[in-house]
Amino acid sequence: MNKTTTFEHGGKVYEVRAIPTLNGWKVRIFVEGIPANGFTYSVDSQVYQDAAIDGVPEDLVAGLMETAERDFRRGVCTENLSPDVVVMKSAKDRV
C-alpha cells in the first residue's frame, strides 16, 4: 500500500512517494517519475510499530512525507547536494 502526495515547486509538479519495505518505510521525491534528488527518508518497522504501541498520535510515514517536502521546498534537499539518508532511529526522533 504505497502512499503518494504531490506538490508544485518552481513550475514543476513533484510527487512524494512512501513505499513499504521489508524493514519499514522509505520516502523519496520524484519529478516526472524520476527521483528528484539522492535523498531518502526512512522509518524502521520496529520504530513504526513501537510508536503505535506507545500511543504516539502522529502517523510517522505521513510525517516523513511532510518533512521530505518541507526540506525540498527549503532547499535542504536539492539536486545539487550530495545524496544523504535521513533515518528515524526511535519514536523520540519522530517529525
Report the distance separating Cα 53 and Cα 40, nearest Å.
25
Work out the mean pLDDT of the chain and round it to a whole number: 84
Q: Which band of pLDDT confidence, cut at 50, 70 and 90, is reported for residue 41?
A: very high
Distance, CA of 51 to CA of 89 (rounded, Å): 11
Segments in 1-95 forming alpha helices (H): 45-53, 60-74
Angle CA(30)–CA(42)–CA(72) in degrees, nearest 5?
Answer: 40
Whole-structure pTM value: 0.77
